[in-house]
Amino acid sequence: MSSKTFRLSNTIALLVLSTVLASTLSSCQKHSIPTENLKVNEKSRNITSTNDNITPYPSVLSLFACKPAHRAFVAAHRGTHEGSTFPENTLESLQELHAKGVPFAEIDIARLKDGTQFLFHDGTWDRGTTGTGPIAVSSWQQSQLLLLKDTNGDLTSYRPSAFSNVLAFAKDKIYLEIDFKSSVDEAKVVDSIRAADMLDQVILIAYDNDQALRLHKLAPTAALSVGIFKPADIEMFENLGIPASVMTAWTGRGPITDELAKALRARKIPILAGSFFDLDDKLQASGNFTPYTQYAVHPDLVVSDFAFDTQPVLEITGDDKIKMEACLKKTPR
């Protein structure tokens, strides 16, 4: 992903930044078309071309293989922290997650009428933006006239984020769980991930057997999230042609039985669970976040609505971190 820095690119970046700052005074702000090949500056929404010499991240499957069995990673549900000033599914929210050490973000990918892939959860603009009506009738340029609301419903200065820009930022910074909304072309989304050299840093989410098969055919080596709620489900997916080596097991809210955990561990299938169903709210009300440790006894990845609070509790540190890093050094990317 690193590229040689050109003076012209820096000049363009400064012009873009100046334009953005000036145009925030108007609700008719126009943004440039999303770029596929430039890198997003972590300190702003400015797009720059830089040479960071970033050490390549290990693949997500290698990461799970080297993780201590009694520890869990954290993923931010919808790519943000509830109650923060960062709207869900935005470039800026992912930048903040990265800054706070949250290793995963679950994000939703939708498509506009001009084919632009961008991050958005709902089928209409109403809940999360200053716009109204279906997103499918809007173009990228029209989407950039809208302002996003944060998770409290308050207006922000942020605008919808192009998937291409998010991929450019996320490379070697944060792992992504990809939730495909009904408006997208799955093949084109996978093509975008492949073009960004991010296939080994994502988990593709499948909601049913047919989608699991489609996604596996599109990206045979990519990690795939499939619903596994009893040991027999593992064999069922294998009989469909999906190998255990690429499976990650979505187990919902839990609790995960010892029997299921043992079967998944025996096949080296990472266990995914969501604390966002009700546990997150209970712990927010109590102010005590230590129960996340007990919740994460079986899961390898906990998807949370409050990642800023969950991460400090579940963060892998000390000897566990040293052992994991040593393992990753011996593992091919």
Single out the residue of 306, 181, 178, 298 nearest to residue 228, CA to CA: 298
Do the beta carbons of residue 135 and residue 123 sit within 8 Å?
yes
Question: Residue 295: inside a domain, yes or no?
Answer: yes
The 8-class DSSP code of residue 187 comes to H
CA distance 36 to 28: 24
Do the domain assignments include residue 115?
yes
Q: Report the pLDDT value the prediction gives residue 333, as an integer from 0 to 100.
A: 64
Query: Is the Cα dihedral 185, 78, 196, 242 positive or negative?
Result: negative
pLDDT at 290: 97
Predicted pLDDT of residue 124: 98
The answer for 6, left when phi > 0, alpha when psi is -120 to 50, beta otherwise, is beta
State the pLDDT at residue 254. Answer: 81
Q: What values do phi and psi take at 261, rounded to 5?
A: -60, -40
Token readout for 156 is 């922000």
Three-state DSSP class for residue 219? coil
Does residue 37 lie within any of the structural domains? no
Residue 33 covered by a domain: no
Alpha helices in 219-274 (DSSP H): 232-240, 258-266
Residue whose C-alpha is closest to residue 300's, from 260, 267, 271, 261 = 271
Counting Cβ atoms within 10 Å, is residue 36 exposed (0-12), middle (13-18) or buried (19+)? middle
- Domain extent, residue 256, equals 56-330
> Has residue 34 been placed in a domain?
no
Q: What is the spatial distance between Cα 93 and Cα 84, in angstroms, rounded to a whole number?
A: 9
3-state SS, residue 218: helix
We report the CATH number of the domain holding residue 185 as: 3.20.20.190
Per-residue pLDDT of the chain (333 residues; tens, 9 = 90+): 434 333 334 433 333 333 333 333 333 333 434 543 333 333 334 333 333 445 789 999 999 999 999 999 999 999 999 999 999 999 999 999 999 999 999 999 999 999 999 999 999 999 999 999 999 999 999 999 999 999 999 999 999 999 999 999 999 999 999 999 999 999 999 999 999 999 999 999 999 999 999 999 999 999 999 999 999 999 999 999 999 999 999 999 988 999 999 999 999 999 999 999 999 999 999 999 999 999 999 999 999 999 999 999 999 999 999 999 999 998 776
Asked, for residue 172, whether it belongs to a domain, the answer is yes
Total residue count of the chain as it appears in this document: 333
Give the per-residue pLDDT at 126. 98
In a domain, 38, yes or no: no
Helix, strand, or coil (residue 186): helix
Where would I find the beta strands (DSSP E) of 5-95? 39-40, 47-48, 73-76
Instruction: Note the pLDDT of residue 55.
Output: 73
Confidence at residue 331, expressed as pLDDT on a 0 to 100 scale = 79
pLDDT for 36: 38
- Sort strands 39-40 and 223-227 into parallel, antiparallel or unpaired: unpaired
d(CA 244, CA 270): 10
Q: How far apart are CA 31 and CA 331, in angstroms?
A: 42
Tokens in use for 278? 């009700």
Both tokens assigned to 179: 């939730």
d(CA 188, CA 195): 10
pLDDT for the residue 137: 97
Q: State how many domains the chain has.
A: 1
- Distance of alpha carbon 163 from alpha carbon 159, whole angstroms: 13
Residue 17 counted as domain residue: no
pLDDT at position 27: 37
Q: How far apart are the first and last CA of the chain?
A: 15
CA distance 228 to 244: 12
